[in-house]
A and B are shown apart, each in its own frame.
Chain A
Amino acid sequence: MDEPIEKPGEEPVKNKISRRFLLGGAATTAIVLLQSSLTKWVQTAGAQTLIKNGDPTKITGAGPSTVGKRSLFEKPVRLTSDTSSRTPLQDLYGTITPSDLHYERHHAGVPVIDPDKYELLIHGMVGKPMVFKLSDLKRFPSVTRTCFLECSGNFRTSKETMTPQEICGLTSQSEWTGVMLSTLFREVGVEPKATWFLAEGSDAALLTRSIPVKKGWDDAMIVYAQNGEAIRPEQGYPARLLLPGWEGNTNVKWIRRVELSDQPFMTREETSKYTYPVKDKIRQFSFEMDARSIITYPAYPNQLERGWVEIRGIAWSGRGKIIKVEVSTDAGKSWNATNLQEPVLDKAHTYFRHLWQWRGDETEILSRAIDETNYIQPTLRQLIEARGISASGYHMNPITAWQIKRDGKVLFKPESFK
């Protein structure tokens, strides 16, 4: 029962810097070196060609291209393990995650699916079992919605040198487009006695989850587009289930089959996984992601300078809107309301900002989210009091604290879990 915090959802993040991280860092360093050595050379040698190369106004730039690229000075990367990758939350602005930086969690890799051969079967307790090709799905009235996704095993705590990406990078946000599942339910004639449906992916794990039919009628979607283009393979190309606000695993990717039933199927992912001890019981079908927030600036590895600091971060809730995010700059003694960036959407990452003057004192900064159900993001201690000492890492959404050292170093404040 006693599972280390690193376990759920993915392989543990080792207490060492990953090769990928090192490569990214090395690349950044190389650019800095290049710039400074260039400047030095320009100052001493005064070479005309280098002045030209260093001055964008003196050389004609590259022409248009078929597909754009990031500036060569920007290198945001996901942090990968064998089964997942994490969004670099500290490198992002606003609330849309660039599609190529969306977090991943796969159970048997990313399948290659030919969109012309793709089919979605809906059957079981329905009046008329149907098969829809991708082109059929795209003909139905469509809907576009922005919401977050989050793996329910999205919590790490171990050492002070952890970035937001390492602590909770298994959450991302996209604008999704597709067809409401209720539109398809209407088309196949879901029988009133159907209370659950099975969603099955066409990956090598044939991943399955049982979902209450009520969610299907409420706001579930079959989505085929992400941030204005076809959904990425890692996010379920050509189509996935989207259950706004519900744990990532239930949003079955590469969906091939929906089977209506009058009971849950008790698949492996909803029994031996994605369940967790609460006191002497095991909590199952724990769908909604409770409210959470994290300060993404300043955060490790930022170096703070005295003066005005705009504290920034994201907050989200699987139960609806964020109504308030509070920030403490005195280690939790007092809390200040922050500015929420409009529009604040249901079940969506919400950007918050708080202006603060740092005078060089040692302190801790924290944020807590409050959602429209008046749920207040808890501390780790509150979560463990509620669930017992055998609480696992699933559905852990504690307040994250950053330590500000006198020299301006910003460090994560790890909390003992067991």
Chain B
Amino acid sequence: MNRYVVVMASAMLLLLLGTTGFKSSNSLPRQTITADTSKWPSTFSFGKVATEQQIDSVAIAILPNGTGLPPGLGTPKEGNVIYITKCASCHGANGKAAAGEKLPAPELASDSISKIKTIGNYWPYATTIFDYVRRAMPYNAPGSLTNNEVYSITAYLLSANNIIKPDMVINAHNLYKINMPARKLFIPDDRRGGPEVR
């Protein structure tokens, strides 16, 4: 009985504190998500130091300044051959849908007046093409292309969008230097919360 009274009293006190705390200050109660780390050791020593080999086997990301691009090369001509056998069935002949055709994947090339988002009018960095094709394409066999094949497909797609000449050889030293028409359009998010709708 006594214990019950104590429990009830503490519960009501907490309730009161909670309520008055809420009303007396404008700041809303926060969800406590982090622990007090002041008593933590400098390291928990869980996990293992990664070896160079472990890192190299998976670290395939490419920066827009070309860092990470592998050795190898490709041309639009060779890319066209690969495109026809491995890409065209989903992305259309020449990267475009024929009149009335419904493609299962996005069109990749366009004339400049087209409103469809493509590499030519919407992709800001050429390095992204290499990176994405290498990690995710073809959809039914991701990761199956050699670096030279990826360079060639990248070269073909840039050529199909009239960004490079049909005879240009693409490699780690020039891909990142290609000027993409949409680059100048990109701006970072300027929404900040608050009353203004952006």
**Chain A residues within CB distance 8 Å of chain B:** 1-3, 107-108, 121-123, 128-133, 136-137, 139-141, 143, 145-146, 180, 182-183, 186-187, 198, 200, 204-208, 219, 256-257, 259, 261, 263, 265-268, 271-272, 275, 278, 280-288, 290, 319, 321, 323, 343-346, 348, 371-376, 378, 382-383, 385-387, 395
Contact = CB atoms under 8 A, between A and B. Distances in A.
Given A281-B187, A283-B189, A375-B195, A272 B142 contact: no
Main secondary structure of the interface of B (DSSP, over half): loop
Contact of B62 (A180, A265, A280): A265
29 contacts: A128-B49, A129-B50, A130-B48, A132-B47, A133-B47, A140-B46, A141-B35, A145-B33, A187-B44, A187-B47, A206-B136, A219-B33, A267-B61, A268-B132, A272-B122, A278-B198, A281-B186, A283-B189, A283-B190, A284-B188, A286-B191, A287-B189, A288-B189, A290-B191, A290-B193, A345-B31, A373-B194, A386-B198, A387-B198
Given A265-B63, A272-B122, A281-B186, A383 B197 contact: yes
Contacts of A385: 197
Contacts of A132: 46-47
A131 B50 contact: yes
A375 B47 contact: no
B149 interface: no
Interface residues of B, number: 57
Scoring A141, A323, A348 by chain B CB atoms within 10 A of each residue's CB, the highest score goes to A141
B73 to A, nearest CB: 22
Contact of A1 (B33, B59, B117, B188): B117
Given A1-B115, A141-B40, A288-B193, A204 B136 contact: yes
Contact of A284 (B117, B189, B192): B189
Interface string B29-62: 1110111010010011011111000110011111
B162 to A, nearest CB: 18
B128 A267 contact: yes
Contacts of B61: 198, 200, 208, 259, 265, 267
B28 interface: yes
A286 to B, nearest CB: 4
B171 interface: no
A290 B60 CA distance: 33
B186 A373 contact: no
Nearest to B198: A386
Interface in B55-83: 55, 58-65
A294 to B, nearest CB: 18
A207 to B, nearest CB: 8
B31 A121 contact: no
Scoring A141, A265, A286, A346 by chain B CB atoms within 10 A of each residue's CB, the highest score goes to A265
A1 B131 contact: no
Contacts of A265: 61-64, 131
A288 B195 CA distance: 15
